[in-house]
Structure 1
Amino acid sequence: MNPYIKKYIPIADFLGEVLGQNTEIIIHDMTNYDHSIVHIINAHISNRKIGDPITDLVLDFIATESKGNKQFICNYNSKTIEGRLLYSSTFFIRNDKNEIVGALCLNSDYHDVKKSLSFITSLLPNYVDDKILSLNNIKENLNTNPQEITLNKIDAIIQQFDVVPQRMNTKEKTEIIQALNDCGIFNIRGAVQEVADKLQMSEPSVYRYIKKIKKV
């Protein structure tokens, strides 16, 4: 195991003891996006396991923040594949070159707390909690299916353009493939085929675009 990742395992175990059964603790190793989870505590929270893939939020961070010095993001909403809302934070593990090599993630399930809070607030009609979890503010989907992660990311980037794939010109396709490449989507197995299908291109054409981008 990557030594930068390995030293965080005792920290994860420590947090597991401190935070209890309502918080899932996961360590990701970024050398393999398809099977990035290398350590997990309280897996019942999201029903993921060792060997499951990276999440969409980590892909976004790699694209937008990986060259900076930001070390963590805290207190955002995430969602399990079953639709359960969680309260999450992520610490990004970097090597001596300041490159992201892993992540330590905390996902807390406050479902039972919310039910208790709902009962209490029913007795306090003027009370409003501005931090209640909401489906309208999901930043991360804790999915175990690499194909779905890939498709969601491709769709999100395509939606930024006001033209359907069959009418996209070379410049627009280049920009989309550039954005996908920047967030590491092509490190996920099968991503080239999915991109080719979405953009109505052949796989060899997508590879040519990627090759051209990497030469720039």
Structure 2
Amino acid sequence: MNQYIKKYISIADFLGEVLGENTEIILHDLTNYQKSIVYIINGNISGRKIGDSITDLMLDFILSESKGNKQFICNYNSKNVEGKLLYSSTYFIRDDSNKIVGALGLNSDYQDVKNSLSFLTSLLPNYVDDKIASLNIIKENLSSDGQELTLNKIDAIINQFNVIPTRMTPKEKTEVISALNECGIFNIRGSVQEVATKLQMSEPSIYRYIKKIKS
């Protein structure tokens, strides 16, 4: 656990006492994507444990916002490994150079609230509330499966290109591998093999692309 994360353990304990058993409090050390979870309270909510990996949202944020100053994102929807809808917020922990090195996450189980809303709206069939309508928009998958996360991220980036991997030009493959490298996917064990399979390339070729991109 890096020094910046240790400072937030007492805050996590405080939030755990305040928010109670329906909210998971979790600390990620983002210097180790493969085993980023270093502290967790009420882990039964997402089904995760200490030693599990980074999430897809973390990878997206590292890619898109890591050079900015955004400090947190609040009140978005996520789902656990069983598909249960959760209500989440994330505070990003930065080091002295403004690099994201960790995150403090809150994941609340509001299934009972959703059931109540469904009952109430059934009594008002012509009523649609924007907040209710958006409850099923999932922004983060709280999976503890590093391989699943890797495959989902690879697919998401490849799908941004309107061409199948077998028809990609070297330039397009470079852009795909560069995007994967920027979000840190190659820090996850087994990712090179998965990328090679998806792009129908050899693993040595992937390593050559990574070396070229880094240089």
- 2:161 match: 161
Give CA-to-partner distance per residue, 1:75-132, whole Å, 9 cap, x none: 1111111111111110000010101110000111100122223333444455433212
Counterpart code for 2:53: P
The ranges of structure 1 where at least 4 consecutive aligned residues each deviate by more than 2 angstroms after the TM superposition are 116-129, 132-135
Aligned residue number for residue 106 of structure 2: 106
Partner of 1:128: 128
1:7 matched to 2:11: no
Partner of 2:194: 194
Structure 1 match to 2:22: 22
1:139 counterpart = 2:130: no
Describe the SS at the equivalent of 1:44: helix
Query: In the alignment, what sits opposite 1:176?
Result: 176
Per the alignment, residue 52 of structure 1 pairs with 52
Counterparts of 1:28-107 in structure 2, within 5 Å, are 28-107=28-107
Deviation at 1:31?
A: 1.4
For structure 1, list consecutive stretches of 5 or more residues without a partner in the other structure.
none
User: What CA RMSD, in Å, does the superposition of the two structures yield over aligned residues?
Assistant: 1.2
Report the count of equivalent residues: 214
Structure 1 position 168, deviation (Å): 0.9
Q: What is the DSSP-based 3-state SS (H/G/I as helix, E as strand, rest coil) of the residue aligned with 1:134?
A: coil
Unaligned ranges ≥5, structure 2: none
Tell me the CA shift for residue 21 of structure 1. 1.1
TM-score by length of 2: 0.96
What fraction of aligned residue pairs are identical, expressed as a percent?
Answer: 78
Whole-angstrom distance in 2 between the partners of 1:124 and 1:18: 34
